[in-house]
Structure 1
Amino acid sequence: MLEIFNAHKGRYGYRRILIIMRNKGYTINHKTVQKLMKILGLKGKQRKNEKYHSYKGEVGKIADNLLKRKFNADKPFEKLTTDVTQFKVCNEKVYLSPVMDLYNREIVSYSISLHPDLQQIRDMLGGLFTKLPDDAAPIFHSDQGWQYQHSEYQRLLSDHNIKQSMSRKGNCMDNGAMENFFGRLKVEMFYGEHFETVDEFINCLKEYIHYYNNERIISKLKMSPVQYRTHSLQS
C-alpha cells in the first residue's frame, strides 16, 4: 500500500489504492484500506477553492446549455468540454486551456500560454481538429468566457460541425467535469510544490497531463482514460 501511495506521489486516496490492490489480486474492502492508510499516516492531497474567471459580460453570442450536466457519453468525441485555468509561478501567470472528452475523461487537446488570449484558444482548437473523426458532430461545452463568445471561435466550431454549449451564468457546476479536473490537477502537481522557473513548471504540467491520460486511474472507469478508450475499442 505504501509503495502504491509513493509511486503516485501521494495523489491517490483510498478508492484508487483499493482498485490497484484488487487488480494485484488482494481480497480487501475499502474500510480496511482506509484503516491501514490511517495507521500508516497516508493522506491524499487536498484541493483549494481557486478559479480563474474569464467572464466579461455578454460580449458576443451566448449558446444554450445543451450538455445540461449530463457528463457521460456513449462514444469518443460525442461530448467535449473546455475551460481555462490559471497558475501563478515565479511572479508570472500561466494559463492552461484543455479539452476533455467526457466519454473517458481524456484530455484530447490542450494549450499552455502566458496570455489568456484568442491565440491560445486557436492553438487548443488546432490540436482538437487534428484528432476529431471526420464523422464526429460533438457537443462542445464551456462557460460564458469572452473567448467562447468570440465570433471567430464560434465560426471555427461551426466549420467543423461542432455544436456549441455554454453553462448558465454563475453556474460553475454546469461544467463540473472540467472543474473537477482542474481541482485535482492543482492538488496533485501544483499546490505545495516549488518550481525554479516557468519553463520547469510548464514541463511538469505537460508530464502531469501525460500521467493523467495514461496512468492515473479514474475511479468510475477503474482504469486510466487511455486504457479505457483502448479497452472499449477492442471490445
Structure 2
Amino acid sequence: MKKVIADLFKKIHERYGYKRITKKLKKSGHSINHKKVYRIMRELVLKCVKFMRKSGKYNSYKGNVGKVAKNRLSRRFSTPIPLQKLVTDITEFKYLDEEKLYLNPIIDLYNEEIITYETKKRPTLDLVMEPLMDTIEIIKNHAAYRTSIHSDQGWHYEHNQWVRTLKENRVFQSMSRKATCPDNTSMENFFGILKQEMY
C-alpha cells in the first residue's frame, strides 16, 4: 500500500492531501481508511506543498455604479434542480511577470459543473456578457424552473447591459453583500482549488 500511495502521489504531481488520495484509492477499488492513508503519507513524508503559494484575487468593485440586487441565495449553495442556482465571478492570473489573464466562469450549484466561461486579457464587459448569453441559451433549452445567477457587487454585474439581459430573459439576479466573500463560497472554493492545484 505504501508503494501504491507513493506512486499515486507522484502521478498527481504532489497536489492532493490524504483525503483526496483516499478518494482516489477507493475509486481504484482499494478498501482503506483515511486515517491509515494519513499515517502512511506522514511516514513517507508525502506532503502536499502546492498550498504554500499565495495568489491574488481580482477586485472589480468600483463603488456603487448601478443598482445592487438582494442576496437570493443567502448562502444556500445546494439544489437538487439543474440550472436553478448559478454562481459567477472573475479572477485574475498573472504570467510572464507582466501579463494578466482574466477568467469568468458560470457554475451550476446542482453539480458544481462549469456550464460556460470566458477568458480575456482585459476585464471588459464582454468577459461576463459572452458567457451570460451562452448560459441563457442553455437555460432556455434545459431549465425546468426559473434560474438565479449570483455574483459579487463588481461593476460588470451592476452594469445596465447585464441587469437588462437578466430581466429580459426572466433570470433572477442575486448579489453578495459588499466585501463578504462567504456569500459566494462555491465560486471562491473553485478559484482556490484551480489556482493551487492546477495553475
TM-score, length basis structure 1: 0.76
Task: Indicate whether 1:89 and 2:98 are aligned.
Answer: no
Q: Which consecutive residues of structure 2, in runs of 5 or more, have no partner in the other structure?
A: none
What is the deviation of 1:7?
3.0
Give the number of the structure whose alpha-carbon radius of gyration is greater.
Answer: 2
Q: Distance in 1 between matches of 2:150 and 2:62?
A: 18
Task: Indicate whether 1:117 and 2:121 are aligned.
Answer: no
User: What residue number does 2:25 align with?
Assistant: 21
- Map Cα deviations across residues 83-133 of structure 1 (whole Å, 9 max, x no partner): 000011121110000011111111111000001011111112123223222
Q: Distance in 1 between matches of 2:182 and 2:171?
A: 22
What is the deviation of 1:49?
5.5
Letter paired with 2:88 = T
Counterpart among 60, 63, 69 of residue 54 in structure 1 = 60
Letter paired with 2:18 = Y
Q: Distance in 1 between matches of 2:24 and 2:94?
A: 34
Bigger shift: 180-189 or 18-27? 18-27
Counterpart among 130, 136, 146 of residue 137 in structure 1 = 146
Could you tell me whether the CA contact under 8 Å between 2:117 and 2:131 is conserved in 1? yes
- Map Cα deviations across residues 4-34 of structure 1 (whole Å, 9 max, x no partner): 3233322222112111212233221111111
Q: Which consecutive residues of structure 1, in runs of 5 or more, have no partner in the other structure?
A: 191-235
Aligned residue for 2:25, secondary structure, equals helix
Distance 1:21 1:128, change over 3 A: same
Bigger shift: 126-135 or 115-124? 126-135
Task: Indicate whether 1:155 and 2:164 are aligned.
Answer: yes
Q: Distance in 2 between matches of 1:42 and 1:54?
A: 38
- Cα RMSD over matched residues? 1.5
Could you tell me whether the CA contact under 8 Å between 2:84 and 2:143 is conserved in 1? no
User: What residue number does 2:78 align with?
Assistant: 72
Runs of 4+ displaced beyond 3 Å: none
Bigger shift: 88-97 or 1-10? 1-10
Letter paired with 2:156 = Q
